[in-house]
Structure 1
């Protein structure tokens, strides 16, 4: 029985075999130039009202990566991000500035040129205790998890790791 525009079993099978053939012959080198170079000026910036903390996030939506997400992050002087955790891994590359992060029960310091790794599902918060703005490039494997409907993010707001877990003796 054929219902409107719904593909038939034969069409589905033909599509499956066409995709299988593409997987076996992945030597095609003609690609679109879209997204091969994305300028930082093209970032779409989310302000503190959208992020829920003083930091701003620049979303680089034009990068066509299927498994990685790229952001720019600015943490104003004498401020921080919120205490959060997420299922994906993330790496912050420090472009300008210096500060420290709470990552789980660890406190780590960082400065220009450093990479800061955040493991999956670990509470973390990034701090800028100095008078100059911090700028970072953030790379996450969140797109891969989005494609699997397996991504999740939580925020506890503007509380430190120590304050939250000291006041809530049950650790997550």
Structure 2
């Protein structure tokens, strides 16, 4: 409790408590999707970024040791998460468990925009971060299994 005593102060030293999505630093992934990094958010244990998937396209098939939750702002589509295929649309939250191969697909007709929240910073802080990608393969291509 002695160490926690200093935490009673309500002084907030971090800057950038409000960050606009217009400040995102966009990077192209190995797939047609893009990731918008929100570099000025001072979070220490979670990562929050934006993801765009063009209509009719998909992210890469990948897995990582952290959990992730995608909040779908715009568009609709489906995800292959392990041996399951799940549909989602605007307003949905899509959960991906740790170390499960997954890929997100946008329906034809409208780009998908998502907010992604993951605990990757926490794992990186203890040097336990890992990510693998199989590129643009589907789950069926990679594992010979159907996710429907």
> Do Structure 1 and Structure 2 share a fold, with TM-score over 0.5?
yes
Higher helix content, 1 or 2:
1
Count of aligned pairs between the two proteins: 145
Counterpart position of 1:166: 144
Deviation at 1:22, TM superposition (A): 4.2
1:79 match: secondary structure: coil
1:21 shift after superposition:
4.6
Matched, 1:149 2:127: yes
Query: Unpaired segments of 5 or more residues in structure 2?
Result: none
Matched-pair contact (CA < 8 Å) for 2:14–2:42: no
Q: Please tell me whether the aligned partners of residues 82 and 102 of structure 2 are also in contact (alpha carbons under 8 angstroms).
A: yes
The CA distance in 1 between the partners of 2:14 and 2:107, in whole Å, is: 41
| SS of residue paired to 1:144 | helix
Normalised by the length of structure 2, the TM-score is: 0.94
How far apart are 1:35 and its partner, in Å?
1.8
Q: Please report how far the alpha carbon of residue 26 of structure 1 lies from its aligned counterpart in structure 2 after TM superposition.
A: 1.1
- What are the within-5 Å matches in structure 2 for residues 40-55 of structure 1? 40-47=21-28, 51-55=29-33
**Deviation (angstroms), 1:24:** 3.3
| Partner SS state of residue 25, structure 1 | helix
Match of 2:96 among 97, 110, 118: 118
By relative contact order (CA 8 Å, sep 6+), the higher-ranking structure is: 2
Q: Partner of 1:14 in structure 2?
A: none
Hey, what does 2:7 align to over in structure 1? 26
| Residue deviations 1:122-144 (CA, integer Å, cap 9, x gap) | 00000013111100000000000
> Quick one: distance in 2 between partners of 1:59 and 1:25?
32
Q: Which has the larger radius of gyration?
A: 1
Give a deviation string over 1:70-115, Cα, whole Å, max 9, x none: 0100000110000000000000000000000000000000000000
Per-residue deviation, 1:33:
5.4
Distance in 1 between the 2:24 and 2:116 partners? 13
TM (norm. structure 1) is: 0.81
